[in-house]
Amino acid sequence: MAPGDRLPSSRELTEEHRVGPATVSRAIAMLAAEGLVVARPGSGTFVAPRRRASGNEAADTSWQAVALAGRDYDPANAVEAAQPLPAQGITMSGGYLHQSLQPTRALSAALTRAARRPDAWHRAPAAGLESLREIFARQTGPDLTPQDVLITGGGQSGLSLLFRAIVAPGSPVLMESPTYPGALTAARAAGLRPVPVPMDDEGVRLDLLADAFAMTGARLLYCQPTFHNPTGTVLSAERRARIGDVAHAAGAFVIEDDFARHLGHGRPAPPPLVGGDRHGTVVHLTSLTKPASPSLRIGAIIARGPVMRRLRSMRYVDDFFVARPLQEAAVELLSTSAWDRHLQALSTSLFERCAVLADSLARELPEWQLARLPAGGLHLWIRLPPGSDDSIAADAARAHGVTVNAGHRFFPAEPPAAHLRLSFAAAANPAELAEGARLLRSSRDGT
């Protein structure tokens, strides 16, 4: 039919094709959604004008390279995250729970109850619902109040906000080495210069941290004191007691990324740094996405003093507030016994999966060095034999049907050796983890 031609009536189409009126209506609606027909009430449905062909030449967007110059951007994380998973493959990369570990039923029930609230779609306060802020304050420390809490759209959103709020573009930011790649990307996107501070078995080295503050004049440290990503390290009690004082002596803030508090493997996590902070030095960041679901984009920043006022002001610049239905659902979820039961079951499952993967790697790849058997978190941190290339190892694993994370992405500067990060939470079950270890051996052998 030509543009402008009138389609047969619904009755004619029904009779011609021997289908019901509802089928005809759905078909016309689909055509209209695709822009192929135009419905004119009272006149009928007509073929839409043809779109002009643009030819075979691709649009020239090369001018954007000049326009975007001068802004530091590290695409490495986005590029690796965007790669498609192998068909029927085993996922041992990423930082989220497999759907079988997520509290799907409890989440659905919480969202349903939240949607029934008469004010569910009203505008939320910029700082977040007070009931949700109260929960985060109570979980984090006895002296914290809802006024110390700002609700964010997940942990990554909170990181981006903090890096932009606390220090100016061009400033250094101290980071454990290795560290979370998303933090490196967020810091660089904010115009900051990541400076590595080495770690050992007790966490970040405070002697080198003090030196780094003195040498760089940095006013910010980003760290993960509990079940560190990627190494699984827990900052020792002695260093937990001193790290705030080291930063305070330098006139600096500490961002405590507490993403893994609910990801312990049976033992309780040590108290957050912010709970013992006397000077407003520590800014605490937590999130529900890791222990619940990647789509529960709810996090919280806990801070005291002028920095909180600045953060709340920046909220108006960024997005005004986090969607209220999601906040209401988070309140419903965290207020039920189902959440506690989920955390207990998750702890047991993570402990089992961690042990299965560690044992399987020791059997299949004894030359791979496990940094430690973590007491919490979602990952194992593996040091490859001397002379290995982690990018080549990751590519070979993908070719054999297993996704892993290349270790160089986790270092603010040059890595000291080749590493891989292996997730034991993203696979469907422990049996997949054992099979994944076997496939990793095959990828090493090229078989």
pLDDT of residue 71: 63
CB atoms within 10 A of CB 423: 26
**Where does CATH 1.10.10.10 sit in the chain?**
10-47
CATH architecture for residues 104-336:
3-Layer(aba) Sandwich (3.40)
CB atoms within 10 A of CB 279: 11
Tell me the C-alpha distance between 137 and 258, whole Å. 14
Contacts of 425 (CB under 8 A, 6+ apart): 96, 97, 98, 101, 350, 353, 378, 379
Contacts of 290 (CB under 8 A, 6+ apart): 95, 96, 97, 155, 259, 260, 262, 263, 378
Sites in the chain below the pLDDT cut of 50: 79, 82
**Where does CATH 3.40.640.10 sit in the chain?**
104-336
Residue 269's nearest CA partner among 345, 374, 180, 183 is: 374
Q: How many helices (H) and strands (E) does the chain have?
A: 15, 16
Residue 298's nearest CA partner among 424, 132, 417, 90 is: 132
CB atoms within 10 A of CB 46: 16
Residue 168 structure tokens: 């100016």
Tell me the C-alpha distance between 407 and 417, whole Å. 9
Per DSSP, the residues of 16-52 read HHT--HHHHHHHHHHHHHTTSEEEETTTEEEEPPPPP
Tell me the C-alpha distance between 73 and 188, whole Å. 6
**Where does CATH 3.90.1150.10 sit in the chain?**
87-101+339-445
Please write the tens of the pLDDT for every residue from 133-157.
Answer: 999 999 998 889 999 999 999 999 9
At 382, phi and psi to the nearest 5?
-115, 130
340: helix, strand or coil: helix
CA distances for 368 relative to 176, 298, 373, 432, angstroms: 23, 37, 13, 19
CA distances for 153 relative to 57, 309, 330, 348, angstroms: 40, 18, 12, 28
CATH 3.40.30.10 fits 10-47, yes or no: no
Residue 424's nearest CA partner among 95, 89, 83 is: 95
What are the strands, taking DSSP E only, across 89-155? 90-91, 149-152
Contact 430, 386 (CB under 8 A): no
Tell me the C-alpha distance between 80 and 398, whole Å. 12
Read off the pTM: 0.84
Contacts of 73 (CB under 8 A, 6+ apart): 188, 189
Residue 187's nearest CA partner among 216, 234, 221, 226 is: 221
Contact 160, 135 (CB under 8 A): no
pLDDT of residue 293: 95
Length of the chain: 447
Class of domain 87-101+339-445: alpha beta
